[in-house]
Structure 1
Amino acid sequence: MELANGSTVEEFILLGFQTGQQKRHLLLAIFAVLYILTLAENITIITLVHADVQLARLPMYILLSNFSWLEICYISTTVPRMLFDLAFPCGVISFHECFLQYYIFFSLGQTDTECFFLSVMALDRYLAICHPLRYPQIMSLDSCYALVATCWVLGFLWNVVPVTLISRLSFCGPNIIDNLLCDPGLIMSLACPPLGNVPFICQLSMTSGVLVNILFVVLSYGVVILTLVKASSWGNRRKAFSTISFHLIVVTLFYGSVAAVNLIPRGESQSDLNAAVTLFYTAVTPFLNPLIYCLRNDQVKEALGRLLRNTEKWQSRIVTE
């Protein structure tokens, strides 16, 4: 971690959005509101699932509540830092803080834990639609919690090797990262040669997890769609299609943003585009996911109604006493 003149790299500089103060304040206001709304949405989902007896015993909602907790951790890793940099445009981040952000953010979202959760949710829908009679035995509460634990553990183990290898590289300068967060590809571009097999190993680790999960999700929903096409009951088919369509929208948003990040060429002319895509998958997508999953979900609406009625009864009882 030494510069060419012998000094040690102790910090990086995140350039973020290179725009005027007025636009910065506008972006700060927009994404502060998005962050608060996203927290409120996901906290509401978690509260509903744990407070409602019916939802708390359904694997789909256990997975959804964990997915909501994942989204809260995911956005809290980067968005508060982005808001700080928009309010006070210095962009300085310490070496260790940068790698900690990279490890937690990518372990949670872009390449690991969220991928595994989307695969498990696809598995849940596959079992519920294609094997409805065996579903309660296969996807029992114990099995569901075991899958949840596996997603969390695998997600955080998957990035241990890449972050360790990159952190052990030598950095000769400059120390400027042209993005809103500590992206591993951009960090490696700042390392001084020779890099050895580090880029290949890191790329293999990051892409293998994504590709395996994409293949699993595509196969699962492909079989589900074929099963629904052959179904005789139009009512059941319509309800199932409505459910998986929202799942597919979330999957498309997530993997679409991951593809965009990896397909956009690196360079000065694309810096604003990189920042825009980064903002989309770090702030906008987590805001949309709870709405997509729950906006037209009758069970969630009914649970919310029960919770509100119980709250009103509790408040009126306190007033009476």
Structure 2
Amino acid sequence: MTVRDTERTVGVKNESTIQEFVLEAFPAAQHLGGLLFLVHLLAYLASIMGNTVIILITWADHRLQTPMYVLLSTFFFCECCFITTVIPKLLSIFLSGRQTIPFPACLTQAFFFLFIGAGTFFLMAVMSLDRYLAICKPLHYASIMNLRVSFLLIFLCYSLSFIFFTGLMLRVSQLSFCGPNIISHFFCDLGSLIHLSCSDTSSVETYFFFVTSFVILLSLIVTITAYSNIVVTILRLPSAKERQKAFSTCSSHLIVLSLMYGSCVFIYLNPKQVDRLDSNKEAALVNTVVTPVLNPVIYTLRNKQVHQALRDTLSRVRWQK
């Protein structure tokens, strides 16, 4: 019998239950709490403001009320929700030094982190299909994609995510936790949480790995298939100007996809996550802090329609004053 099995057996016999966990965020940098608070606060505010500005512009300008921009504004809204599941608690840790989180709050944070994150992966796959239809099937695009279809696809993305991770969290909530209670992460990472249980977690770990793998691989396969066809279509365009225009509509999406998939494949497509917790923290930091800050910049940097809509909105505001 291993040490971990012995701990589980003793814990079950004692029937002790942990009421709260300790988030061991960055133990080597605890003396930099004030500086880390300021950096993460600025990153959080920049992300929220950047995403919100694009959402408001999208819904204020009738020219941007198309399936592509409806999907994009939904993506930015979910980015705001995603970063909010993690950063406020991290800020409170840096500011107050209090690293504890109650068990129900830990489960809630883990659920919304995975639910929103998985739904966003499905949404990114839908956005890839939207670009595929617009570039490869332009004559059929209007008959296939419209606002009603885009809202239906958004609902389907997050419904699937809700079903998958509600089942997972119900399984996790039935586990016994009798010590230790230190989560070596800056939020309630479900992989780390499961590892602390003194119950038999083999079925839960398998289910968790299967669900996360399914979400990431399905969306990745759809995205790769869509963009493979897009690249072939772009290369066949007769004019260099047409090729540049077609590629510019997809380049920002590809950059965001690379950041998201790169970090999440590293974190979740590894059954033995506990052996790489330190590396996982760094990858998760990119996924939860860096990427949401960069996304609004990446998506608007080469988007002439958003630039024009922003100029028109600012002109109307100045005119009203």
- TM-score, scaled relative to structure 1: 0.92
CA shift at 1:87, angstroms? 1.2
Which of these residues, 24, 27, 34, is aligned with residue 18 of structure 1?
Answer: 27
Structure 1 alignment gaps of length 5 or more:
316-321
1:169-226 Cα distance to aligned partner (Å, 9 max, x none): 1112111100011111111111114235221122111211111111000000001001
1:190 aligns with 2:196: yes
1:87-141 Cα distance to aligned partner (Å, 9 max, x none): 12221011110000000011111xx111111001001000000000111111012
Letter in 2 for 1:120: V
Q: Does the 8 Å CA contact 1:17/1:275 hold for their aligned counterparts?
A: no
Identify the residue that residue 289 of structure 2 maps to in structure 1. Answer: 283
Structure 1 Cα separation of the partners of residues 98 and 197 of structure 2: 22
CA shift at 1:33, angstroms? 0.3
Closer/same/farther in 2, CA of residues 93 and 135 from structure 1, 3 Å limit: same
Which of these residues, 35, 39, 42, is aligned with residue 48 of structure 2?
Answer: 39
Q: Does the 8 Å CA contact 1:103/1:163 hold for their aligned counterparts?
A: yes
Equivalences for residues 236-255 of structure 1 within 5 A: 236-255=242-261
- TM-score, scaled relative to structure 2: 0.92
Structure 2 Cα separation of the partners of residues 37 and 157 of structure 1: 32
Cα RMSD after superposing both structures: 1.8
CA shift at 1:3, angstroms? 6.3
Q: Does the 8 Å CA contact 1:17/1:180 hold for their aligned counterparts?
A: yes
1:51 aligns with 2:63: no
Which of these residues, 299, 311, 314, is aligned with residue 305 of structure 1?
Answer: 311
Q: How many residues align?
A: 311
Q: Does the 8 Å CA contact 2:132/2:229 hold for their aligned counterparts?
A: yes
Structure 2 Cα separation of the partners of residues 108 and 16 of structure 1: 22
Equivalences for residues 220-299 of structure 1 within 5 A: 220-262=226-268, 266=273, 271-299=277-305
- Which of structure 1's runs of 4+ aligned residues deviate more than 6 A? none
1:254-305 Cα distance to aligned partner (Å, 9 max, x none): 000102223687568x554433222211111111111111111100000000
Letter in 2 for 1:298: K
Structure 1 Cα separation of the partners of residues 281 and 313 of structure 2: 40
Q: Does the 8 Å CA contact 1:180/1:278 hold for their aligned counterparts?
A: no
Letter in 2 for 1:252: S
1:159 aligns with 2:165: yes
CA shift at 1:15, angstroms? 0.4
Identify the residue that residue 122 of structure 2 maps to in structure 1. Answer: 116
Identify the residue that residue 95 of structure 2 maps to in structure 1. Answer: 87
Structure 2 alignment gaps of length 5 or more:
1-7
Structure 1 Cα separation of the partners of residues 201 and 243 of structure 2: 54
Q: Does the 8 Å CA contact 1:250/1:289 hold for their aligned counterparts?
A: yes
Q: Does the 8 Å CA contact 2:92/2:98 hold for their aligned counterparts?
A: no
Closer/same/farther in 2, CA of residues 197 and 20 from structure 1, 3 Å limit: closer
Identify the residue that residue 140 of structure 1 maps to in structure 2. Answer: 146
Equivalences for residues 214-225 of structure 1 within 5 A: 214-225=220-231
Aligned-partner SS, 2:22 = strand
Identify the residue that residue 319 of structure 1 maps to in structure 2. Answer: none
1:18-38 Cα distance to aligned partner (Å, 9 max, x none): 134542221111110010011
**Farther-moved stretch of structure 1 (257-266 vs 188-197):** 257-266
Structure 2 Cα separation of the partners of residues 292 and 15 of structure 1: 32
Identify the residue that residue 3 of structure 2 maps to in structure 1. Answer: none
Q: Does the 8 Å CA contact 2:216/2:265 hold for their aligned counterparts?
A: no
Identify the residue that residue 5 of structure 2 maps to in structure 1. Answer: none
**Farther-moved stretch of structure 1 (24-33 vs 272-281):** 272-281
Aligned-partner SS, 1:93 = strand
Q: Does the 8 Å CA contact 2:213/2:269 hold for their aligned counterparts?
A: no
Structure 2 Cα separation of the partners of residues 306 and 181 of structure 1: 41
Q: Does the 8 Å CA contact 1:3/1:9 hold for their aligned counterparts?
A: no
> Identical aligned pairs, as a percentage?
36
Aligned-partner SS, 1:197 = helix
Closer/same/farther in 2, CA of residues 212 and 263 from structure 1, 3 Å limit: closer
Q: Does the 8 Å CA contact 2:191/2:273 hold for their aligned counterparts?
A: no
1:73 aligns with 2:81: yes
Which has the larger share of helix? 2
Structure 2 Cα separation of the partners of residues 91 and 7 of structure 1: 21
